[in-house]
Amino acid sequence: MLAYVYKDKERFALEERERPVITDPKDAIVRITLASICTSDLHIRHGFVPRAVKGITVGHEAVGVVEKVGAEVSNVKPGDRVAINVETFCGECFFCKRGYVNNCTDKNGGWALGCRIDGLQAEYAKVPFANTGLTKIPDNVSDEEALFVGDILATGYWAADISGIEKGDAALIIGAGPTGICTLLSVALKEPGRIIVCEKEESRRQLAKRVCPAAETVSPEEVESYIKTTCERGGADVVFEVAGAENTFELAWKCARPNATVVVVAMYDKPQILPLPDMYGKNLTFRTGGVDGCKCAEILSLISAGKIDAIPLITHTFALKDIEKAYDVFENRKDGVIKVAIKP
Ligand SMILES: NC(=O)c1ccc[n+]([C@@H]2O[C@H](COP(=O)([O-])OP(=O)(O)OC[C@H]3O[C@@H](n4cnc5c(N)ncnc54)[C@H](O)[C@@H]3O)[C@@H](O)[C@H]2O)c1
Ligand SMILES: [Zn+2]
Ligand SMILES: [Zn+2]
């Protein structure tokens, strides 16, 4: 089968590989029908993910059809269309029992697919812990609609959840890339009074408006004064930092009102400064981390009910054999790309 492999820093290659086989009773083999490329794949390519293992197939966002299951897999069967979770998790350890699946203590727990074990930019993939990692896609949900459920939609949904946002709150989302848009879609379900989206690129501000017409959009240059003059309590009630740029962490806490929650979704490539003396008395709460993606069934039922639609994120589709080109378009933001879909 064809698979896209992490060979070395700055070098991924399309290779012919053996099809995966079941080696544990909790494994399932999935025939991938649609995959995508995530910013984290680019981080692996550039050597920013030290735990990534050379020689593995990359990719951790995909949907497919179950081909074969191990003896202990009971929630899916061959022939089922499934969304694949970015995280594989045992469901039984201290962290899993509390929903903190990103920190599952199993050796294959957390973000392993396409990082430490063979991933999903391939024709077939082996998914460990299939009972927790695979979710059946409802019949009225297409592959395209379900493509982001296991990764960036899970992230946006998790971010909205941990923010503690309440009905009527003013939310600020910094960054309207794919993950920021998924955060926007999830935050909108919490019925905030206002959603303000701060994004550098005009075309992405427009996309935010398109997926959520009630959102107010603003540029990074204007956001602080916009927030200070339009939010009654001197800042946003909840801030989501989903940009991960040079000054966006600072922007996030500066735009928060006293006693607000700041959710840091972004992953930075440099340490950030938390200037406690400057924010003394503002009494902020910070929430951060890698997504605990264990609500895929909930997200799929919201898609099925027409309450979440991430289709506008898919701007380009490529065949797996052309994946090099897909990486080039995605990484270099060519041709107005937001997300690419890869068809094996
Ligand atoms: N916590 C998690 O589990 C998790 C999961 C997925 C993604 N992420 C992280 O979330 C971040 C966003 O991911 P993405 O895939 O959407 O990436 P992205 O790079 O496409 O999105 C970032 C967006 O921020 C915008 N931006 C840059 N500087 C800005 C500024 N000063 N003000 C406002 N907007 C600005 C960019 O134009 C871009 O649209 C990344 O850091 C990624 O690593 C974290
Ligand atoms: Zn990802
Ligand atoms: Zn676990």
Is the shortest distance between the CB of 44 and ligand 1 below 6 Å?
A: no
From residue 342, give the alpha-carbon distance in Å to each of 54, 246, 320, 336: 22, 31, 6, 17
Ligand 1 centre from 175 Cα, in Å?
6
Q: DSSP letter for 74, please.
A: -
pTM over 0.95: yes
Task: Give nearest CA residue, ligand 1 atom 19.
Answer: 177
**How confident is the model over 127-145, as a mean pLDDT?**
98
**How confident is the model over 178-191, as a mean pLDDT?**
98
Position 18 confidence tier, pLDDT thresholds 50, 70, 90: very high
Is the shortest distance between the CB of 263 and ligand 1 below 6 Å?
A: no
Cβ atoms of residues 3 and 96 within 8 Å = no
Which domains are present in the chain?
Answer: 2-151+292-343 (3.90.180.10), 155-288 (3.40.50.720)
Q: Is the predicted pLDDT of residue 115 greater than 90, yes or no?
A: yes
Alpha helices by DSSP H, 91-199? 94-97, 130-133, 143-146, 152-162, 178-188
Nearest-5° Cα angle at 301, 299 to 305: 115
Nearest-5° Cα angle at 156, 50 to 262: 85
243 CA closest ligand 1 atom index: 24
From residue 195, give the alpha-carbon distance in Å to each of 77, 145, 172, 213: 41, 24, 6, 10
Ligand 2 centre from 226 Cα, in Å?
31
Nearest ligand atom owner, CA of 203: 1
Ligand 2 centre from 74 Cα, in Å?
27
**How confident is the model over 230-252, as a mean pLDDT?**
96
Q: Is 339 left (phi over 0), alpha (psi -120 to 50) or beta?
A: beta
Mutate-to-test residue for ligand 1 from 38, 40, 179, highest number of ligand atoms within 8 A of CB: 179
Nearest ligand atom owner, CA of 108: 3
Alpha helices by DSSP H, the chain? 39-45, 94-97, 130-133, 143-146, 152-162, 178-188, 202-211, 220-230, 248-254, 276-279, 296-304, 323-331
**How confident is the model over 92-100, as a mean pLDDT?**
97
C-alpha to C-alpha distance for 37 and 58, rounded to whole angstroms: 9
Q: Is the predicted pLDDT of residue 269 greater than 90, yes or no?
A: no
Residue 47 phi, psi dihedral angles, 5° rounding: 80, 20
Nearest ligand atom owner, CA of 95: 3
Nearest ligand atom owner, CA of 107: 3
Per-residue pLDDT at 29: 98
| Tens-place pLDDT, residues 38-65 | 999 999 999 989 999 999 999 999 999 9
Position 185 confidence tier, pLDDT thresholds 50, 70, 90: very high
Is the shortest distance between the CB of 64 and ligand 1 below 6 Å?
A: no
Q: Is the predicted pLDDT of residue 216 greater than 90, yes or no?
A: yes
| Tens-place pLDDT, residues 288-300 | 999 999 999 999 9
Is the shortest distance between the CB of 292 and ligand 1 below 6 Å?
A: no
Mean pLDDT of the chain: 97
Per-residue pLDDT at 47: 92
Q: Is the predicted pLDDT of residue 110 greater than 90, yes or no?
A: yes
Ligand 2 centre from 60 Cα, in Å?
6
**How confident is the model over 183-207, as a mean pLDDT?**
98
State percent of the chain over pLDDT 70. 100
Task: Give nearest CA residue, ligand 1 atom 38.
Answer: 177
204 CA closest ligand 1 atom index: 39
**How confident is the model over 278-307, as a mean pLDDT?**
96
- As residues whose CB is below 5 A from the ion ligand 2, the structure lists 38, 40, 151
Residue 311: name the closest of 174, 211, 193 by CA.
211
